[in-house]
Structure 1
C-alpha cells in the first residue's frame, strides 16, 4: 500500500511495519525574523535542489545523513531507496549536480559519517542491524559490525565518531509493553567490541558529541527530549540527565548536529523545521521552510560546511527529497555533520 505520509522508522519497527522493499530553482529568500512565543530567531531556509522523488516500490523517499567528503562534496543517504536505486548520493554543491555513489539489494541506511581513523564512509543499516563501510568513492563495501549486543539485536540509526575513530551509535529500539528499549552503543574502531553505554531510552535517534568531546547529546524520538551523557576518560558514561524538553507537537526529535560554539541543531520528523538550542538549553532559533512549499513533511538532518556557516538541511515528503540551505549560528566542525 502506498504511504502518503512519512512515519518514523523507529515507530515502524516497533509495530513490525517496517517493510522496505534534477535541480529546482527557488524564489524564496533566506533571512531572519522573530520566532513567536519565546523570542528565538527564525532562520528561513532556501531551496537548493531536488535530489529524489517518491519511489513507487516503497511509496516514499527519506533523505538523511548529510556529511562532507574531503573534497567538499556533500553525501546523503536515501533511507527508503529500493534495490538498484541510489542509496548514497554525492552532491556537487557548486555545480548543483548529483550522482549515485552506492546501491545494493539490502540496506536501509539512516546515517553516514567518515571515520577519522581510516577515512572510510560508515553507514548505519537500520533494518539489517549492521554498520557497513565503503571506500570514499563508494566501492569496496564490507560489513564492519553486525549481530546482537548484550543479547539483543540493534536498530542502529545515527552515529558519531570520537577522535580516535571509535563509533557511538543510537540504537533506535522503541517500546515493549510500555518499557523503552533504546540504547547508546559504543563500538571500538576495529569493530571487535561493542558496549552498551546507556539503555532504557525511548527510540534513541540523534547522537552527536559536544564541542569538546566531553559528552554526547542524544535525542529520544518517542519522548521528544534531548539528554546529555557525560563521558569518562575511557569513553564510558559518567553521568546522564535530561537536558532539553522539545515542544514538538505532532513532530518528533530526529537527528542532532553541533556547531563550533556548541549549539545544538535538533531536526524534526513530522515538521519541515529545525530547532537550535544553546548548550544550556536556551532556544536560540527555529529554521523554517518558506510557506507554500507543499508536500514536505520532515527536516531530518543537517550538515554545516567545515570552517564555514552555510548549512544544508535534508527535507523530505510526498513532494520528494530536497536540500535546503541556511546560515548557521557558528562554523561547522566534524560534529556538524548530522550523524
Structure 2
C-alpha cells in the first residue's frame, strides 16, 4: 500500500458522495477518484475519467467505500483500460479471463493488514521453535506497544480501536472493572490496586499473553487478553496449531454493553488477531459453559462451540473461529 495509507492516518479523512450510480471520493480537501457504478448481478465499477490511471490509493479507497457500504457485496468488478500493476501485485485486485476486467474480493480485501494495523504491521516473525515450561512452540515476536488496530464502524458511526494496556495509565480503571459485581461473577479477580498491579505485571512479563484496551472513539470500555494457545492451558484440550490465538474478554463500562457493541468489538478483536500474523488459522475462547449470553454473542459473529470440557476451575465451552470462515463470511463495515 502507498506510504500515505500504510503509515499515516490520512485515510481517516476519506469522504464520499455515494449514489446508486456514482461514487466520488476525496482525501481531505483533495479529489481522489470519480467512479461510475452499474448494479446488476454484481457491482461493476468504471472510471469517470477513462484517461486517468488510478493510483493504488484511489483503487483501495474505492474498494473500501463500496464494500463498507454493503455487507452483502462479495465482489467488485473493475473495468480499466490499463492494467493496474500495483493493485495486482498488492493483491487488492485480481486479473480475470476478460481483458480489462479485474475483481476485488471481500474475503481478500479484509485480510490486507493496512491501514487497520497502522504502523504496527511487520513481516511475519521468523519461525524458530523453542521449549518453555515443557511446551514446544514458536519463539514469539516482542509485544507491540501503543495502538495496534483502528477501524471506523459505520453501523455504530464510531471508531473502534485497540491499544496495548499501560499499567500506570490503566490500573485504576482495570481495578474498578474487576471489582464490578457483574465482572467478578465470571472473572473472579476482584481485589486491591496492588493485587491488580501484580496481576498485570505478571502478564506483561509473559511473552505468550498480550493485554489490550478496547476503545470506542478513543474512550476505553473493555479489557482483552490475547494469548498464544500453544503455550496456554487450553492446548491439551484440542488439536492446537502453532499460531492459534485465544481471547479473554471483559467489558467494563455499562454503557457499552449489548449485542450491537459486541458485534463491533468482537469482530474487531478477531480481525486484529488474524491480521497480526497471517499464519494464525484459528481464534479460540473458553467462556464458562453456562455463560449463555456470551456464547450466543460469539455464535452470532461466526464462532462455533466445538465442545464443552472441564478446566480445573470451571466447565468451559470451547468456542472457535477459523480464518477461512471469518473472511469468507466477513461482514465488516
TM range (shorter): under 0.3
| TM-score scaled by length of structure 2 | 0.28
Larger radius of gyration: 2
Higher relative contact order (CA 8 A, sep 6+): 1
| TM-score scaled by length of structure 1 | 0.27
